Each structure stands twice: as C-alpha cells, then as structure tokens.
A and B are shown apart, each in its own frame.
Chain A
Amino acid sequence: MIKRLAKCVREYKKTALLTPVFVIGEIVMEVIIPLLMADLIDNGITEGSMDYVVKMGVILLVCAVISMFFGCAAGRTCAVASAGFAKNLRHDMYYNVQNFSFSNIDKFSTASIVTRLTTDVNNVQMAFMMIIRIAVRSPMMLIFSFVFAFRINARLSCVFLIALPFLACVLMLIIRKAHPLFRKVFKTYDKLNAVVEENLRGVRVVKSYIRGDYEIDKFGKISQSIYKNFTKAEKTLAFNMPTMQICVYACTIIISWFGAKLIVDSGGTTLSTGELMSLFTYTVQILSSLMMLSMIFVMMTMARSSGERIVEILEESSDITDKTTAATTVKDGSIVFENVDFAYSRSAGKLCLDNVNIEIKSGETVGIIGGTGSSKSTFVQLIPRLYDVTKGSVKVGGVDVRDYELKALRNEVAMVLQKNVLFSGTVRDNLRWGKEDATDEEIKHVCELSQASEFIETFPDKYDTYIEQGGSNVSGGQKQRLCIARALLKKPKILILDDSTSAVDTKTDALIRKAFKEEIPDTTKIIIAQRIASVQDADKIIVMNDGRIAACGSHDELMKSSDIYREVYESQVRGGGENE
C-alpha cells in the first residue's frame, strides 16, 4: 500500500526529502543550545567572566536564529511536499474514476468516492506531513538528547534507561485501550450523519407515520454510544499527561539527588551546576519526544485505513477498454442484437437478457414496452456499450460495438436516462454537454424540438437561468425536456429515450414525438415507455418480458398476436375510456 501511495509523490520527491534534512538541522541546533547554555553558566557566570557570557550569548543567539531558519525551511518544504502529494493523489484517483466502467461504478457509492477524495486524502496528507517532519524529528531528538545527556554524565543518564521503557509501556497500554474506542466513535459518527440525513429527507414520512419519538430514540441511542465511547476513550487518555509528568519529575528528582551528591562530592569537577541544568532540559526533550512518537503512532494507524481506501480506488481498473485497431466512425444507425445474453455479474445465476435477437434499421422508430424488471433499460444500455455483453454480440452500423473506439461510438449514440441528471450551471451550460461549441441558434432549435423552449422563455434569465444542484429548481417534466434537448444537440445517429417523458404530459409527449419524426428522420429512435400512446405509432414495438423479447411488431400486429401487449393496452384504455 505504502509503495503505491509513494508513487504519487512524483515531482515533490526532492522537497519531501529536503524536509528531514532541515528538520535534522533544526534539531541539532535545539540540542546544542542547552549545551551552550550549560557552558555559559559554568564558564561564564560561575567563573565571573562577563566577556565569556556575552560571547556565548551571541553564539547562542546565532544558533537560535539558525534553528529558526531551519525550522521555517522545514515548515515550507513540508507544506509544499504534502500539499503536492495530496494533489497528486486526488488527481490520480479522479483520473482513474473517470475511466471507471459501470461495473466499477456499482462498487462505490457517490458518498464513498467523495469521502475518499476528501477526508481520506486529508488523513493521508496529515500522516505524510507527520512522517517527513515529526516522525523524523522525534526519534532524532530522542537520540541526540540521549547522546548529549550521556556525554554530560553517563551514570546519571542511566535514569532514562529506566524511565523510557516505563513510559513506552504505559503509552502502549493507553493507546491499545483508547485506539479501538476512537475508531468506534468515528464509525458511529458516520451513522449519526446517515440518520440525520435520512430523517431530513423523509421528514414528511416520519411525521405522517408519527415516528418522531422513534426517530429521536434512534438518534439518542447513537448519540449515547458516541458519548459513552468517547468518554471512555478520553478517560483512558487522562492517564497520559500525569504519567508523562510523573516520569519527567521522577527523572528530575533522581537526577537532582544524585547530581547534587555528585556536585558536592566532586566539588563541581565531574558535574557542574550548569550541566545539571542542561540535564533537566534533556529530560523534558527525551520524554516528550517519546510522547510525540506515541501520538504519531496513533495518527499513522488512523491514516492506514484511509490509505487502504485510496489505494482501492487507484488500483480499480476498468473492464471496458478500447481495442488498438478500433473503428473510429459509425456508418449508420442500424442496430443488430445477435444471441445476446447478459448478466450484471458473472457469478449471478440469473441472466438479465436471455438470448435476445433483434434487427433495427437505420432511421426506424422503435418502441419498447415491458414490466418492471423486464430488463428494458439493460437492453438499451448495451448499445452505447455501457456494459459488455456476456454472450453474443451487439452491432451498430454493422460493426460490433466492442470494435469501436468508445469515444466514437458514444458520440453517435445519445441516450436520455431514466434518472435525469442536470448539473449546477446555467441552462446553456447544461445543454452544451451535447455539443461544446453549440451556437445560440442550435441550442434554441433543439429546445424547440424537445418542447423545452416554451418554459425556458418564461424564465426571467431564459437560457442563462441557473440550474441548482441536482436540478432542484426545475420540475420533473422540465428536467426531462432539457435532457432530451441536450441529447439532440449531439446530432446522434441513434437516440435512446429511456422512459424519458414519464413526467411530461401526454400532449407535450406527442409534440416531442411529432418533432422527432419531422426533424430527425434519419436518426434511429428507441423509446422506452410505459404509456402505449407513446409508442403506438412506432415502426416497431418490442415487448419485453423477463429478459426476453416476448413479441415484436407494429401496433396492429401486436394487438392481434401478443397477449401481454393487448393486456397493457386494454388496461390503459379501460382506465381512460370506459365507465362513461
């Protein structure tokens, strides 16, 4: 995992490596300063040599300034490298996501992609900063301070050999106890988020089913679990500071006791007062470095799961790829399905499409009718190769769709989905998805065809009207008409409408169909619909049932030959016409 992530450092490798260098410089200075300080006290002050004091003072100041420069330089390179690293990570992930095929997409929900790109990258970035800065700093600090302390007085410094393992053990125990609790808390936070969101979305349902108290309880329980675990974790952490303090102070007292003895016994020759004071500084430095290390350890384990989630995206590979000798032009809008079998996952036993054979001529209008779960949508999704067939072949313009360059194929196949997606941006922006450099006239024209111009014109800003996130400020029917206009702007050879006029009233629906017939006669039009009226006058109507083509023919033919078709027709007409 680390290897895969490290690959993304790329152009920031140099800065990333420079940081530890600066950090070491900073540490050397920070370790030298107490040493110089001891010297200043022993050889300057206690000796009464003011010149020496001033000289050492100046040297100390210089060291302090150098230390600051190293510190700032490290801060800068660290920020550059970590921000750059995060940028590369996000870029690589997003790039890969763009190449996802639909079977990849089904694996990751939108929310999970968003979290991976934001929170997870953030965690990894923090960990990266930690590694190149503090993870270098703390052990270095520990080692340097230790060495210098030993140099001052090896026997006294043996205290650390007892204190360090003790503190390390206690810290380990605390971490092992608190860490799982924190993980639990973070997981519960996600749940809390989900419950709040769910409740906000379904506020009317909750109220009408009088489940307010139930939902409050549900929330309360989650909130309670956060409270309990959090408190437990924090109470465990409460041991952290006192343990640290006890270690530092125990060391201080032991060093004071033996140090004072040494000073007294030797008359200041083996240990001076100044040196004793430096030892105190080193005590704090050594033990707090260990404390930092333990914190880094916690951060790293937290970042690890984030790292894993990122790598998951980076290593997900698309299963739909272009052939090297791919065709780049689509001859016409004819479509042939030959013995097509299809299942969403290879392991699933049930086929969604079972031995489908159909031939559609270029320029034909084809209607598709069928019940829920009859695989109407699946059928049309194979045409722009959103999925690959499991068996058999789909040919467009006489060529197998797998032999086209994806881009070329999808340029000629326009599809209006059941789920109508508009993006935040103006009406014009949204329509230009179909054709980037479309002129205003072109845009107007397709809107007239899709019957969208009538309501666009009533907006105060017309084509510059801003569409909110998810298209929330236009109605369902308006959304559908905009989506149709967007598809038309592509001037495709094949146009697929997957139940795209369900929220449009019958009158407008009919107008749209009329416009199709008159304005784009050469385009193959495939219309999935629930209303017979929407497909009644198609050249060919396909009746789908349970993944198979149950019947195919014109309205009149089907009325004679297909029971299912007749049943649907009658149910709709009866609903509309009888009982007078």
Chain B
Amino acid sequence: MSKTEKIKKEVGADTQDTYLESKYSSYRTKKDNENQVENAKGTTKRFFKLLTPYWFSVAIVCIASVASTFVNVLAPDYMADLITSAQYSIEDFAANGTHINFGGITEPGSITYQLAVLGALYILLGVFTFVQQYAGAGVTQKLVFNLRNQVNRKLSNMPLSYFDKNTKGEIISKIVNDIDNVSANLQNSFLTVLTGVIQVIGSLVMMLRTGNWVMTVASIFLVPFSGTIAYKISKISKKWFSRYWSSMGAMNGHVEEMYSGHSLVKIFNHENQSIDEFRTINTNLKNNSFAANMIAGILNPILTLFKNINYVSVCIIGGCYYIGTWFNTGVSIRNTLPIGSIEAFLSYSSMFTTPITNISKMINNIQSSLASAERVFRLLDEEEQTPDNTENEPDSLLNGNVRFENVRFRYKEDTPLIENFSLTADPGHLVAIVGPTGAGKTTIVNLLMRFYDIQGGHIYLDGIDIMTMSRNRLRENFGMVLQDTWLFKGTIKENICYGVDNATDEQIEFAAKSANIHDYIMSLPDGYETKLTEDGANISQGQRQLITIARALLKDPKVLILDEATSSVDTRTEALIQQAMQELMKGRTSFVIAHRLSTIKNADNIIVMRHGSIVEQGTHKELLKKDGFYAKLYNSQFTGGIPEDIE
C-alpha cells in the first residue's frame, strides 16, 4: 500500500484529490461558496450607493453609452437605404440604361446625402464610445481605491479578536482579491447590461418598425437557445474554473510547506514522497484546467453556429420577401422587402442576439462579483472595537503605576480564565508572570494594553481607569517586546525607530548599543541602512530579537512588557541584555513573561499561572517559602534535576 493510499484510508476521504484539497484548504484563495450571494438585492443597492459620489461621471458614462447605442441602432437603417438605392440603380440601368444621380450632399434622399448622414452617425458613435470609456476608467478605479482604503481603515479599528479569529489568508483575500473581483467585473458588466438592454430594445423597435414580423421572428427565434446555451456553458466552465482554483490552492499549500521545510525533506530523504504528492495534485490541476479551458473554448464556435444559422434563415426568408413569393410555391407576398432591408435585418439580428448571449455569459461573473462585494460589505459591517472614551484623558505621559482590581476576563464565555484578579505595581516595580505554556500569561498583557477589554473589574494606570482614556494615549506609555519578532521590509534604522518619528542617529545608536546589537549592525556592509527582507529572513532570530529590543528601548516607555523576549537569544547575549534591561527597568514598571525562572528571581511580584488561572502570587522568597507550584518549578529548573511529581 503506498503512502498516499494509506493517508486516504486514515482520513476516510473518497479520493486522493479531495483529501489533498481539504488538507490544504486553508491555502485556497477562492472558496467553493464563491458565487453564493445571500442578499443580492441589498448588496446591489448598497453597491449603487457607493457610486453616488461619482454621479456626474456615472451620468456621463450612462448618457454616452445610451447615445452610442442609439446611434449604433440607427446606422443599419441608413445602410439599408443606401444598399437599396444602389440596387435600384442597377435595376434602373438594366431597364432604362440610365445612371441615377448621386445627388448633392444637401439633397435629402440622394446617395451622397445618405452617406454623409451615415458618416456623421459613425463619427458621433466614435466620440460617444470614447467618452464612455474614458469617463468610465476613472470611476471604477476611484471607487476601488476608496473601497480599499475604507476596508483598510476598518481593519485598523477592528478589535484584536478579529485577527485572532480569522486567518491572514482570508483577510488578505478580502482586501485584495475580492475588491479586485468587484472592480474587474464592475465596469464591464454594468456597461454590458446597460448598452445591451438599449441595444436589444432598439433593434427590436427598428425591426418591428418595418412592420414585418415574420422577418423579425426569423431574426431572433434562436436567441432563447443561444442565450440558454451561453449561460449553461459558462456556468459549467465557471464550476471547473473554481475547481481549478481549489487545486491551485492545494498546490500552493503543498509547495509552501515542502519548500519552507526543504531542509527537513532533505534530511529525511523525503524527496520521492513529496514528488508523489505533488504529482497527484499536478495531474488533478491539469485535468481541471483542461476541462475549464475546453468548455470555455467550445462556447464561441457553438455560438458562431447559431449566428450563422440565424444569418442563413434571415437571408432565405428575406429572399422570399424580396422575390415576393414563398419558396416558388406561387403564394405571393404583398409586403415585399427591398434588398437593403435584408442587410438591415442581418445587422439587427446580430445586434439583438449579441448582447443577450454576452449577458448570459456574464451572469456568472456578475454573481461572483456580487458575492465578493457582499463579503467586503460584511467586513465593513463587522462590529468595531468600542469607541474611545476620553473622559479622563491624561495630558502627558503617566508614571507607570498599574493596578488591577477584581479583573474578570474570558475569551470564551463558558471557560473561566481570569476571575477576581488583583495586583498593584508601583513605578519601577518588576512584575513577572510565569507558568507553563498555554497558561494564559499573555492574556494579562492583552488586557493591560487593551488588545482585549476586560469584562469585569478595573485596571488603573496612575489611578485613571484605562477604559476612560483613549487607546492611543494608553499605549503611548507602553513598550513591548514579543516572542514573535516583527520586522518589516525596510532598513534596520527604519525598523528601530518605528515608534519614534524624529529620533536622531545618536539616539538610535544608543538604543542599539544598549540592546547589544550595535556592533553587529556595524559589521554589516551597509550598517544601519541594511535592508531587511520581508520577514527579516536575512538575519538570525537572535539578532532580530535584539533589533526589536532596541526598538522598545528607543521608545523609552514608562511601562515595559517583555513577552518571552529573550527566549531566542542565547544565554551569553541574554546576560548582556539583562544588564541593559536592569538599567532600563529603573524607574519603569516592567511586566516580564518568562519561562526561564532564573531571569525573574528578583521581581517584586511573581504571578504564577497554571491552566489559565493564577495559582500563586508573591515575591520569590515568599513563593519558595510557600513550597507550592512555583517552588517545584523553580527547583527543577535550577538544579536541572528530575523532580518526581510535577504536574
């Protein structure tokens, strides 16, 4: 049994494809339910509302489209007259041997006049088309631009829980793919539908105006068929394309995992298995790509066939009218047609049919852009973080006296986490939070920084309830170094002075020196101007952490939060950082989360967390005396021995 078969069996998936696709489903950029619109009417309405600021441009686009379509519909009629005139002249010539006069341009009814009118119509058409396209281009892009900025601004007002709940991929997909999807189809579908409707009505009116309903029917009787076929085939093709995208997502996921774990693949000699899995996804992708493209590819030939059948039938029936008898049966037709009108009917037939098939082809696209718009709107409607309350807004930075009073907080309503938690930290105090992984140590920080809002009790900063000041004012007082180092694309200097706009080079260097990273930076060819790649991959984890520490040092905050900040720095460097930190922590309130207990022994207050709640609290000495959980943890770490019964 091959490995893939085994996986299949274990997961119980029907086929390898579905297994792999569900395995990598989180990588999918386009989801299965892509085309499902819950509230099509509301979304459309809201969408048109977005257009209102551009009503002037929109009006111009609309007027230009209507005008160009109108001209377009009129033109064949003039063409018909022209051709009829030409034909009459031939007949005249045959009968009498006389040439008809082309006539002057001012002579209505003459060939010259007709051509002049036609020329004028065509020039108008060109102008209107240009205006429509030119004005339209601005509107769509402006709308997308505003929508995108709106979404981005919305994101910055979302509570942190939103980011914890939704994956990065989902959010990026909304801000990039969905908005793109709206814009890509927006102008196209809107204009297609608008001009299409006018063209259909116009050509129908023009046909009926001739009073010849038989010819009218002959011109359009195939439309229901071609329309339905266009709609059906596009729908099937769309379905295959969405399958194609989902296997593309699977490929994306597979490659991302295998490539980022390349060393592992090498070390475990796993190349063949990885190629096997890739081959399955690749074949699947090929099949979907084939089906999607083939179905899309045969649509046009089929529609052309319909068009040709239509042409022939118009010609034949038109021929009957021209000759004046039904298929040589001798049944005469009174209402005969001039030759030019046959050409006109041919034009009208295509004018009537083309927009209908185009719209049918487009319905699926419209649906998917509506669905995208709906997702974007839904994001815009998400509940924002509670607005800032500024009743006790402090004027300047505070001293850093932190007090938790009977604080209660739960991520999930039914799992108690922090209940009745109280703590006081005076300026300059060091508070350590210790405990095993997953004990909820970071939660305290989340509450203090108001990443999450407490559900009961109060947190005071210098006696001011933090709920009564703006978040920005509150956060100004904090400096934070996290376990996850976050560096952005830019120079080292830019990364260090992230929090302070007007930092001088001396200040930056001083901060770097304090964080023991200055020498390293100077050893780089470009020094402080060294460009970091997207996730700072070109320098080591430890060095990255030192840069984020320098960043926090530069901000010179009143309250310092270190969330396992030194976990990826080696002990020697850590010792040096510790020295700098001791210096830095003077006069500041510090919250330190650490799993190496040796680093926080001299803390003023140690909070011991376990299974999401606080089990002990006190100074190192007190806690040791207590001989509880902390004492066990501490002893095991310090001696490096193996205590019998922890946990």
Identify the closest chain B residue to A409 (Cβ). Answer: B269
Identify the closest chain A residue to B171 (Cβ). Answer: A200
- In the complex, the answer to whether A98 meets B265 with C-beta atoms within 8 Å is yes
- In the complex, the answer to whether B144 meets A57 with C-beta atoms within 8 Å is no
Contact with B along A178-214 (1 / 0, CB 8 A): 0000000000010011101111111111011111100
User: Is A3 interfacial (CB-CB < 8 Å)?
Assistant: no
User: Is B480 interfacial (CB-CB < 8 Å)?
Assistant: yes
User: Is A516 interfacial (CB-CB < 8 Å)?
Assistant: no
- In the complex, the answer to whether A220 meets B301 with C-beta atoms within 8 Å is no
| Given A61-B312, A64-B309, A83-B287: A268 in contact with B93 (beta carbons within 8 A) | yes
User: Is A388 interfacial (CB-CB < 8 Å)?
Assistant: no
Note all chain A residues with C-beta closer than 8 A to B23. 424-425
Smallest beta-carbon distance B482→chain A, Å: 7
| Given A45-B339, A237-B133, A241-B129: A64 in contact with B305 (beta carbons within 8 A) | yes
- In the complex, the answer to whether B90 meets A263 with C-beta atoms within 8 Å is yes
- In the complex, the answer to whether A253 meets B90 with C-beta atoms within 8 Å is no
Looking at the complex, which of A46-54, A296-304, A395-403 is the stretch in contact with chain B? A46-54
B-contacting residues, A250-266, CB 8 Å? 250, 252-253, 256-257, 259-261, 263-265
User: Is A294 interfacial (CB-CB < 8 Å)?
Assistant: no
A482 to B52, CA, bound (A): 58
User: Is B24 interfacial (CB-CB < 8 Å)?
Assistant: yes
User: Is A536 interfacial (CB-CB < 8 Å)?
Assistant: yes
Identify the closest chain B residue to A200 (Cβ). Answer: B168
Partner of A384, one of B163, B267, B278, B279: B267
User: Is B130 interfacial (CB-CB < 8 Å)?
Assistant: yes
- In the complex, the answer to whether B499 meets A211 with C-beta atoms within 8 Å is yes
Note all chain B residues with C-beta closer than 8 A to A210. 472, 475-476, 499
Q: List 6 A-B pairs, minimum CB-CB distance, nearest first.
A: A71-B301, A75-B297, A234-B137, A64-B308, A533-B640, A238-B133
Note all chain A residues with C-beta closer than 8 A to B640. 506, 509-510, 531, 533, 536
Smallest beta-carbon distance A47→chain B, Å: 9
Note all chain B residues with C-beta closer than 8 A to A102. 262-263, 266
Interface size on B (CB < 8 Å)? 174
Note all chain B residues with C-beta closer than 8 A to A246. 122-123, 126
- In the complex, the answer to whether B297 meets A83 with C-beta atoms within 8 Å is no
A102 to B264, CA, bound (A): 11
User: Is B443 interfacial (CB-CB < 8 Å)?
Assistant: no
A277 to B346, CA, bound (A): 11
Contact with B along A240-251 (1 / 0, CB 8 A): 111001100110
User: Is B185 interfacial (CB-CB < 8 Å)?
Assistant: no
Looking at the complex, which of B315-323, B407-415, B505-513 is the stretch in contact with chain A? B315-323
Note all chain A residues with C-beta closer than 8 A to B16. none
Partner of B125, one of A94, A192, A205, A249: A249
- Say what secondary structure dominates the interface of chain B: helix
A-contacting residues, B250-298, CB 8 Å? 251-253, 255-257, 259-271, 273-275, 278-279, 282-283, 285-287, 289-291, 293-294, 296-298
A219 to B488, CA, bound (A): 14
Note all chain B residues with C-beta closer than 8 A to A433. 264, 268, 270
Chain A CB within 10 Å, residue with most, of B260, B285, B555: B260
User: Is A347 interfacial (CB-CB < 8 Å)?
Assistant: no
User: Is B392 interfacial (CB-CB < 8 Å)?
Assistant: no
- In the complex, the answer to whether A231 meets B168 with C-beta atoms within 8 Å is no
Note all chain A residues with C-beta closer than 8 A to B267. 384, 386, 410, 413-415, 417
- In the complex, the answer to whether A227 meets B145 with C-beta atoms within 8 Å is yes
Contact with A along B591-630 (1 / 0, CB 8 A): 0000111110110000000000000000001000000000
Note all chain A residues with C-beta closer than 8 A to B342. 41, 45
Note all chain B residues with C-beta closer than 8 A to A26. 301
- In the complex, the answer to whether B312 meets A60 with C-beta atoms within 8 Å is yes
User: Is B572 interfacial (CB-CB < 8 Å)?
Assistant: yes
A360 to B300, CA, bound (A): 72
User: Is B77 interfacial (CB-CB < 8 Å)?
Assistant: no
Note all chain A residues with C-beta closer than 8 A to B123. 246
A210 to B471, CA, bound (A): 9
Looking at the complex, which of B78-86, B214-222, B418-426 is the stretch in contact with chain A? B78-86
- In the complex, the answer to whether B279 meets A91 with C-beta atoms within 8 Å is yes
Smallest beta-carbon distance A571→chain B, Å: 4
- In the complex, the answer to whether B328 meets A109 with C-beta atoms within 8 Å is no
- In the complex, the answer to whether A50 meets B578 with C-beta atoms within 8 Å is no
Smallest beta-carbon distance A359→chain B, Å: 23
A347 to B132, CA, bound (A): 58
Looking at the complex, which of B31-39, B147-155, B205-213 is the stretch in contact with chain A? B147-155
A-B pairs with beta carbons under 8 Å apart, 11 shown: A65-B305, A78-B294, A111-B534, A210-B499, A227-B144, A231-B137, A415-B267, A426-B10, A502-B567, A506-B640, A575-B596
Looking at the complex, which of A321-329, A330-338, A469-477 is the stretch in contact with chain B? A469-477
- In the complex, the answer to whether B160 meets A207 with C-beta atoms within 8 Å is yes
User: Is B44 interfacial (CB-CB < 8 Å)?
Assistant: no
Note all chain B residues with C-beta closer than 8 A to A82. 289, 293
Q: Kindly list 13 other residue pairs between chains A and B, CB separation below 8 angstroms, not including A198-B489, A241-B129.
A: A64-B312, A72-B301, A118-B255, A192-B176, A208-B479, A219-B149, A273-B86, A273-B90, A276-B86, A407-B269, A417-B264, A470-B257, A579-B601
Smallest beta-carbon distance A140→chain B, Å: 15
User: Is A345 interfacial (CB-CB < 8 Å)?
Assistant: no
Note all chain B residues with C-beta closer than 8 A to A414. 267
- In the complex, the answer to whether B255 meets A114 with C-beta atoms within 8 Å is yes
- In the complex, the answer to whether A223 meets B90 with C-beta atoms within 8 Å is no
Note all chain B residues with C-beta closer than 8 A to A242. 126-127, 129-130, 133
- In the complex, the answer to whether B575 meets A571 with C-beta atoms within 8 Å is yes
A267 to B269, CA, bound (A): 85
Looking at the complex, which of B196-204, B376-384, B536-544 is the stretch in contact with chain A? B536-544
- In the complex, the answer to whether A202 meets B488 with C-beta atoms within 8 Å is yes
Identify the closest chain A residue to B264 (Cβ). Answer: A421
Note all chain B residues with C-beta closer than 8 A to A189. 176
- In the complex, the answer to whether B302 meets A194 with C-beta atoms within 8 Å is no
| Given A219-B149, A245-B122, A423-B257: A260 in contact with B176 (beta carbons within 8 A) | no
User: Is A235 interfacial (CB-CB < 8 Å)?
Assistant: yes
User: Is A105 interfacial (CB-CB < 8 Å)?
Assistant: yes
- In the complex, the answer to whether B89 meets A571 with C-beta atoms within 8 Å is no
User: Is B111 interfacial (CB-CB < 8 Å)?
Assistant: yes
Note all chain A residues with C-beta closer than 8 A to B638. 576-577
- In the complex, the answer to whether A265 meets B256 with C-beta atoms within 8 Å is no
Identify the closest chain A residue to B576 (Cβ). Answer: A571
- In the complex, the answer to whether B297 meets A253 with C-beta atoms within 8 Å is no
- In the complex, the answer to whether A80 meets B290 with C-beta atoms within 8 Å is yes
Contact with A along B465-482 (1 / 0, CB 8 A): 000000110011011101
Partner of A113, one of B259, B269, B283, B449: B259
User: Is A538 interfacial (CB-CB < 8 Å)?
Assistant: no
Partner of B571, one of A418, A478, A568: A568
| Given A50-B328, A372-B543, A505-B637: A417 in contact with B263 (beta carbons within 8 A) | yes
Partner of A223, one of B152, B273, B309: B152
Smallest beta-carbon distance A38→chain B, Å: 11
Note all chain B residues with C-beta closer than 8 A to A166. none
B-contacting residues, A497-554, CB 8 Å? 502-503, 505-507, 509-511, 514, 530-533, 536
- In the complex, the answer to whether B543 meets A95 with C-beta atoms within 8 Å is no
| Given A109-B533, A223-B145, A469-B26: A434 in contact with B268 (beta carbons within 8 A) | yes
User: Is B569 interfacial (CB-CB < 8 Å)?
Assistant: yes
- In the complex, the answer to whether A209 meets B498 with C-beta atoms within 8 Å is yes
User: Is A117 interfacial (CB-CB < 8 Å)?
Assistant: yes
Partner of B575, one of A239, A253, A575: A575
Partner of A203, one of B160, B255, B260, B438: B160
Note all chain A residues with C-beta closer than 8 A to B156. 212, 215-216
Partner of A90, one of B155, B259, B282, B302: B282
- In the complex, the answer to whether A505 meets B436 with C-beta atoms within 8 Å is yes
User: Is A37 interfacial (CB-CB < 8 Å)?
Assistant: yes
- In the complex, the answer to whether A264 meets B570 with C-beta atoms within 8 Å is no
Looking at the complex, which of B94-102, B354-362, B363-371 is the stretch in contact with chain A? B94-102
User: Is B141 interfacial (CB-CB < 8 Å)?
Assistant: yes
- In the complex, the answer to whether A505 meets B475 with C-beta atoms within 8 Å is no
